[in-house]
A and B are shown apart, each in its own frame.
Chain A
């Protein structure tokens, strides 16, 4: 396979051709980024990358965004990548710079996000001598990257960086680390620069097209299905295949559910969408999964938050699985029709064949199946107390939806607020819901939102968070001020590590061991001290007006401290080790009023 650097085709060279010009390693790093069409580098300087920072001085094509912690740099690059589909880029120094980046690298790895992380390293002659700020970055990051490189010779620098972009952005995307010893960027050693051409790797051939025979078998199953369901995931977003998916789902008339990572790839307000599935998925989605006879899994990886106890997972189903990574297929659940390929490509082929075999209007209407689903839906599993005197977190998310007219980039931290957002904010477009699913990294939301806002300066960008999560990367409020990023932070402040508290309530007889966040800061003052606007709301009646006011401040970051019911739980819930049909539902509305 032959592909040029991921973003080179669309981006015209924006500065004089430097081919053949003598450049130092540091200048080559910068030039390579320019050649890749990189807009932003999220970074933090230090000894081992000072030559590179010097080459970045007054650089205008590639904009450097100075974060306040390397974890922030990785999440910001990650948020940028998730929102745009382009490769996120970070630059950090050796030792502590690299180790601080590890959480963000692992976060990107678990969710298959394309990123290139350039790390400084001690000079080659002293590698292995426990030199100042030396860590084995390649060794530390090995299990949480798609690939990594140590560049020992300046002549390999340009090609290695191009390879890194190529690997990060093709096939199943993922983060790639390029570790660069300081002497390799020495400003006094110059070599003629030659932009590397197309990259081919004899050891790496991502699959594009699905096997036609397998696609035919899949379509046969679609035709015969009585109780089919689409189960789609992050792969549809990553593969930019929303259109193809939407067409196929509409053509078949089948119900569709999505993982946390795939939300928005199919419009969530469409009646065919029956909600998220999994641990905190809807009753109807999980029941439909349990009863389905043909499961069409697309770009989803059968995560344990989705399958519950494997023995109870989709016991009646023939399973079709489309995934670009062969190792995702039959990893935890044995599938019947595996299809390795790019999701967009495979879906288009499936649609073509389906249309040939089932001309529009001739499909079975699946009346019984939809009637069954309607019955499950009638349980109204997401109902909550709308008359509460305290702000319910669900109500806060619904209000956010109303105020932003559903047109929002929403990043999230990790906890109950994340689940409430997934359940109550119906996204109709992909790349709008940005959260850490696989690693579940608290601290992700704020820096990720910075990356999104930089990519889309005119868009509404908000971060939903909890009072515990937000403190994990709170320092990035300073970055937001420096670059004028008018984010809206919606803090659902329940005074607890709510998700932890909920587990303790259910499984540890309400022993709330260390899940209460005592000594919280005054978030309004905190926001103000960083130069932003702070707001506090604690009455349901005030919320909408306050949110309207916040979003009307187009050029200010507004930190909304929303005081919510401290004891609300996320329902439905499938306890660990239970089957997907064994959901824990909310005590009914009526019960609650009696109590």
Chain B
């Protein structure tokens, strides 16, 4: 099953490599990993997406918790939560395709943020599936480049993941 896990880490040099090293050393799957400091500059928040059998994911969570730099961990997939991923996608936008691409952008509530005579850069934020759907919807052959942030997430409701 797919799990999205949020981790508060000490914002120390090397903390990220401890996580990355853990996944490679133990042969765990990692689909994506995003990390940035939080409002508290001593903490980083990491979101990682992994897949595996329940017992493997259980081990992954235990091993992450065991890292001395891990302050808190929450498996967002265990409760109601919101996931968002950001994508920047560069598409070939010649005269004939421009209207179609603009229409798509509107349907998906995306934004065109860079325009040249022959290209658009489109920004789209949403659940990862929505991003997939957008990519599928772009007419064949027009995609030049795709960059995705990997999902970040937060639990619904008033409770927060903080120290």
Contacts and interface: CB of A to CB of B under 8 A. Distances in A.
Interface string A113-150: 00000000000000000000000001100110011001
Contacts, number: 35
A327 B14 contact: no
Given A138-B14, A202-B71, A203-B71, A327 B21 contact: no
A326 B65 CA distance: 9
Is the interface on chain B under 10, 10 to 19, 20 to 34, or 35 or more residues?
10 to 19
B68 A147 contact: yes
Nearest to B68: A147
Contacts of A139: 17
Contacts of A202: 71, 163
Contacts of A150: 13-14
B130 to A, nearest CB: 35
A321 to B, nearest CB: 13
Contacts of A330: 55, 58
Interface in A485-517: none
Is the interface on chain A under 10, 10 to 19, 20 to 34, or 35 or more residues?
10 to 19
Contacts of A142: 14, 17-18, 21
A147 B68 CA distance: 7
B52 to A, nearest CB: 14
A201 interface: yes
Interface in B1-46: 10, 13-14, 17-18, 21, 25
A203 B55 contact: no
From A138, A147, A203, A334, residue with most partner B Cβ within 10 Å: A203
Contacts of A201: 68
Contacts of A287: none
A204 B68 contact: yes
B59 A327 contact: yes
- Secondary structure type dominating chain B contacts: helix
B62 interface: yes
Given A142-B18, A143-B25, A326 B62 contact: yes
Interface string B65-98: 1101111000000000000000000000000000
A298 B62 CA distance: 19
A143 B67 CA distance: 11
Nearest to B18: A142
B51 interface: no
Interface in A324-376: 325-327, 330-331, 334
Contacts of B69: 203
Contact of B55 (A143, A146, A334): A334
A231 B69 CA distance: 33
Interface in B84-136: none
A65 interface: no
Contacts of B10: 203
Nearest to A142: B21
Contacts of B70: 203
From B55, B62, B63, B70, residue with most partner A Cβ within 10 Å: B62
A167 to B, nearest CB: 6
Given A142-B21, A150-B14, A203-B10, A331 B68 contact: no
A146 B21 CA distance: 13
Nearest to A148: B14
A110 to B, nearest CB: 13
B13 to A, nearest CB: 7
A371 B70 CA distance: 51
Contacts of B25: 143
A330 B58 CA distance: 9
B59 A331 contact: yes
Contact of B21 (A143, A204, A325, A334): A143
B50 to A, nearest CB: 16
Interface of B: 10, 13-14, 17-18, 21, 25, 55, 58-59, 62-63, 65-66, 68-71, 163
5 contacts: A138-B14, A142-B18, A202-B163, A204-B68, A326-B66
Interface of A: 138-139, 142-143, 146-147, 150, 167, 201-204, 325-327, 330-331, 334
Given A138-B14, A146-B68, A330-B55, 6 more contacts: A143-B25, A201-B68, A203-B10, A203-B71, A327-B62, A331-B59
Q: Which 10 A-B pairs have the closest CB atoms?
A: A327-B62, A147-B68, A203-B71, A326-B62, A143-B25, A327-B66, A204-B68, A327-B63, A142-B21, A203-B10
